[in-house]
Chain A
Amino acid sequence: MKCVRLLLVLVWMWMPPSTGAQDSADAEAFYRGKNITYLVSGSIGNGYDLYARLITKYMERHLPETSIRVQNVQRAGGILAANQIYSATPDGLTLGSLNAGLVYIQLQGVEGANFDLAKFEWVGKAGSDPRVIFTGNSGKFQNFEEMLVADKPLLFVSTSGIGTSAHNESLILARALGLDMRLVVYRTSNDSLMSLFRGEVDARVSSYSTARRYVQSGSARVLAKIGNQIPGLDSVPDVYDYTVDDSARRLLNLIENTSSLTRYTVMTPGVDPHRVAYMRQIYRDALSDPRLLAEAESLELPIEPAYGEELQNMIDEVLNQPQSTIQSIRASLQ
């Protein structure tokens, strides 16, 4: 037995130590001539799809003769896509972009969601999508204070069906602020917007990137923001100012942190760390490419990147909620 140990030690000593450059070269050699599948949760043309197609186009340019095939996996609020990436062979050839709403799905413990967001290999993220509460110009509330003292139940729109961020965040917000609210569920984001502009419903919780276009064209106004500093919305009240309760603030904090985790790219858990590091570098190179930045600007896709371990820490922080907050989320989403 001693001889075997000695032999192992000798072999280990004889082998040259691995260097970062060597690992990167190995990873590059692995990816040379390979085909990567990049799964996008959502249909062709939606925000996730546009980000994915833009980023993969530039990642391909930084990869060695590697092609990336974008595949849209619709349905079930991104759960199908997440399950597919999570259970793929961990060879580094399956990547994907998932939606932020999966955080709520995981915290809620939805049946069929066979993934753990914390275990994905987080490559990077391209943007943030701070949340606001906005209303149409014909809406009956002029400001957020009026909404808080309304004598009838508030009608908020829920978009793209139950289980989406808009739906979950409206319910969590209502619980945090003690709003008497009813959700009107629409098939798509588009018909919910028309309903808002007609004044049939009172407000919508949404990303500012969605609201901005209508605010700029004069069809809508922002009533409140949820945490994040948003350029141009300094005078808009922040929902944090309307509660001092710690548990309520934790719920608001969850919405705020989740909104900064959008347009992200992940890999299957268990991929060789060198390949993960290599892919993170490629992602970083792509997002630093001036041509990508110029194209993103013309497409009005804001780029606010974060990479690798920083992102991994962000998701850990979002998922690591006290049991009381998780109970509170589950109660509000039931």
Chain B
Amino acid sequence: MFELLSASLFQIFTSPYLLLTIVAAVFIGSFFGLVPGLGGTLAMVLFIPLMIGRDPLYGIVFLIAMHAVVHTAGSIPSILFGIPGTGADAATVVDGLPMTQQGKAGTALGAALFASAVGGIIGGMFLLLMLPVVTPVINLITPSEYFLLAILGISFMSAVSGSSLRKGVAVGCLGLCFSFVGISPQSAEMRFTFGQIFLWDGLDLVTLVLAVFAIPDLLFLDRRKKHTLEKMHTYTLGHVISGIKMVFVHRWLAFRTSLLGAVIGLVPGMGGDVASWMCYGHAVQSSKNPDQFGKGAVEGVIAPETANNSKEGGALIPTLFFGVPGSNGMAVFLLALTILGVQPGPGLLAEQGGLVTSLIVTLVLANLLAVAILLPASRYLAQFASIPAGTVIPVGLVMIVLGSYLSSGNWEYLLILYAMSMLGFGLKYYRWPRAPFVIGVVLGANAETSYLQAITIWDYGFFLKPLSLILIAAICSSVAVYFWRRRQEREHQRAGLHYDV
């Protein structure tokens, strides 16, 4: 393995043509990430015809480098405008946008871009370390584990509830109810669809996040008049560097969420949404200052960004070694592999091990390059955030409407956007937490489907599998830690001290 890796490193770093291919791919991938509604899958589809008759190494290096950096660039519109390009970028909005509104756009961008690179590198390392044990590890993660992982994520709702557990749980349960919109996977009954076909497959996550976060935040700009040129003039490169430093300060969080993202990436169908929202929940749950989340906590930017990029390393495992794509982007990548004459499957490592290690090197290199390119550019991109509220609000609303339409593909979703934005505005106005709502929506459907699969296959016996028991213990610990912290907090308050566990 070490020989293959060093040969790949040598091959890539001594070939100017390969290096240029990676640089070009990083630029193109960044563009597709920056513009909401484009995304990595579309980039892959558009470039696939160019792969016909190409050298497999160059084709794979180009596609993987392009796809790897889409979410890195996608963090920029999420932070500056609160407009996520995909569901996976949506969690960054929760704390990224408040940071921008507080004049910390540079810090948020620095943290997001560097965290993305860290995630991408750890994702690549994860893939490398998994190579010898791919099959047994993949076989460990079954619907029963998906279900318990989803429940673990839902248990983070309490952590993101802020000062009132009751409010958080109420909003989270409302999110769970919204996750049940659509056709029941078991009985085929229509649930909350009101005779509307566009609701059959459930609600579009990007539309929900735009409605619950972006629109209320935009409308509040006008009320608070914070979004002014004056405030944004404080932006310097120092802010970007301070953002990078924050990733070092929260290095263990970055490591944990990168690892969690890569593990979730292993599971086809779980998707980037689950990875980023679960990691956001974990960041709040493990923070010393959970009250700061939703108000501009940098950990709330670091966690989803690391997960977004690291999950690509995990998603490559089923794609390369089982021929089963871990995400939509990977499905198109799989097709590209076939066009390039590479046969994915269990024998890939033995037959074309050099190609696999070159892919890992490219994954890491592209993530580093993206930061090198986007960090200097972020200084200029952040200037967009200094546009006065009077301009930002109408432009932002147009972009939100476009983002919702591009993501859902149905104009009817504009009605959902309108209705849900009233809910979001109400939650923000009355200071109810909004993050539990999205966690409920994202994980509710996953939990339900996985539960039904597990119960059909194993009956209730699945609760007694060894990994299930470990996950049940993790869920219990998560809830117990929350209540222990709440108790500590109350005791400190009673003693007249500040909470600092």
CA distance A239 to B457 in the complex (A): 25
Given A163-B183, A219-B323, A198 and B142 contact (CB-CB distance below 8 Å): yes
B45-53, B57-65, B161-169, B426-434 - interface stretch: B45-53
Q: Is the CB of B138 within 8 A of A194?
A: yes
CA distance A155 to B268 in the complex (A): 20
Q: Is the CB of A190 within 8 A of B331?
A: yes
Q: Is the CB of A200 within 8 A of B41?
A: no
CA distance A177 to B460 in the complex (A): 30
Q: Is the CB of A76 within 8 A of B346?
A: no
Decide yes or no whether B44 CB sits under 8 A from chain A.
Answer: yes
A45-53, A91-99, A281-289, A309-317 - interface stretch: A45-53
Decide yes or no whether B345 CB sits under 8 A from chain A.
Answer: yes
Residues of B within 8 A of A162 (CB): 183-185, 188
Q: Is the CB of A185 within 8 A of B335?
A: no
In the assembled complex, how far is the CB of residue B307 from the closest CB belonging to chain A, in whole angstroms?
Answer: 19
CA distance A74 to B184 in the complex (A): 18
CA distance A155 to B458 in the complex (A): 11
Q: Which of B162-208 contact A (CB under 8 A)?
A: 183-186, 188, 195, 197-198, 200-201
Q: Which of A213-240 contact B (CB under 8 A)?
A: 213-214, 216-219
Residue of A155, A198, A217 touching B345 (CB-CB under 8 A): A217
* Chain B residue nearest in CB terms to A183: B456
Residues of A within 8 A of B326 (CB): 190
Given A45-B45, A184-B457, A190 and B410 contact (CB-CB distance below 8 Å): no
Q: Is the CB of B197 within 8 A of A76?
A: yes
Residue of B201, B343, B345, B457 touching A200 (CB-CB under 8 A): B457
CA distance A184 to B462 in the complex (A): 15
Q: Is the CB of A74 within 8 A of B201?
A: yes
Q: Is the CB of B457 within 8 A of A298?
A: no
Residue of A50, A187, A190 touching B449 (CB-CB under 8 A): A187
Given A44-B328, A219-B322, A76 and B201 contact (CB-CB distance below 8 Å): yes
* Chain A residue nearest in CB terms to B348: A217
Q: Is the CB of A195 within 8 A of B346?
A: no
In the assembled complex, how far is the CB of residue A20 from the closest CB belonging to chain B, in whole angstroms?
Answer: 35
Residues of B within 8 A of A161 (CB): 183, 185, 201
Residue of B183, B324, B338, B344 touching A193 (CB-CB under 8 A): B324
Decide yes or no whether B42 CB sits under 8 A from chain A.
Answer: yes
In the assembled complex, how far is the CB of residue B203 from the closest CB belonging to chain A, in whole angstroms?
Answer: 11
In the assembled complex, how far is the CB of residue B57 from the closest CB belonging to chain A, in whole angstroms?
Answer: 18
- Could you write out 22 A-B pairs with CB less than 8 Å apart? A45-B335, A73-B409, A73-B410, A112-B200, A155-B457, A161-B185, A185-B449, A186-B449, A187-B185, A190-B268, A190-B326, A193-B268, A195-B453, A197-B324, A198-B139, A200-B143, A216-B343, A218-B345, A218-B347, A298-B52, A299-B48, A299-B339
CA distance A184 to B488 in the complex (A): 45
Closest 9 CB pairs of A and B: A217-B345, A191-B269, A190-B268, A45-B332, A76-B200, A188-B269, A162-B188, A185-B185, A187-B269
In the assembled complex, how far is the CB of residue B480 from the closest CB belonging to chain A, in whole angstroms?
Answer: 31
The winner among A50, A155, A185, A194 for most chain B CB atoms within 10 A is A194
Q: Which of B286-319 contact A (CB under 8 A)?
A: 318
Residues of B within 8 A of A76 (CB): 197-198, 200-201
Q: Is the CB of B409 within 8 A of A72?
A: yes
Decide yes or no whether B36 CB sits under 8 A from chain A.
Answer: no
Q: Is the CB of A186 within 8 A of B269?
A: yes
Q: Which of B334-362 contact A (CB under 8 A)?
A: 335, 338-339, 343-347
* Chain A residue nearest in CB terms to B195: A112
Q: Is the CB of A155 within 8 A of B456?
A: yes
Name A's B-contacting residues (CB within 8 A): 43-46, 49-50, 53, 71-77, 79-80, 83, 111-112, 155, 161-163, 182-188, 190-191, 193-195, 197-198, 200-201, 213-214, 216-219, 295, 298-300
The winner among B41, B324, B339, B344 for most chain A CB atoms within 10 A is B324
Q: Is the CB of B45 within 8 A of A194?
A: no
Residues of B within 8 A of A298 (CB): 52-53, 339
Q: Is the CB of A182 within 8 A of B138?
A: no
Decide yes or no whether B443 CB sits under 8 A from chain A.
Answer: no
Decide yes or no whether B479 CB sits under 8 A from chain A.
Answer: no
In the assembled complex, how far is the CB of residue B239 from the closest CB belonging to chain A, in whole angstroms?
Answer: 37
Q: Is the CB of B409 within 8 A of A74?
A: yes
In the assembled complex, how far is the CB of residue B275 from the closest CB belonging to chain A, in whole angstroms?
Answer: 15
CA distance A182 to B186 in the complex (A): 11
In the assembled complex, how far is the CB of residue B73 from the closest CB belonging to chain A, in whole angstroms?
Answer: 19
CA distance A252 to B184 in the complex (A): 27
Given A83-B197, A187-B269, A298-B52, A217 and B409 contact (CB-CB distance below 8 Å): no
Given A75-B197, A163-B183, A295-B49, A46 and B331 contact (CB-CB distance below 8 Å): yes
Residues of B within 8 A of A201 (CB): 457
Q: Is the CB of A219 within 8 A of B345?
A: yes
Residues of A within 8 A of B325 (CB): 190
18 further A-B pairs in the complex, CB-CB below 8 A; given A200-B142, A300-B339: A43-B328, A44-B45, A45-B328, A76-B201, A79-B200, A155-B456, A161-B183, A183-B456, A185-B452, A186-B449, A187-B449, A190-B331, A191-B269, A191-B270, A194-B324, A198-B142, A217-B343, A218-B345
Residue of A112, A217, A300 touching B323 (CB-CB under 8 A): A217
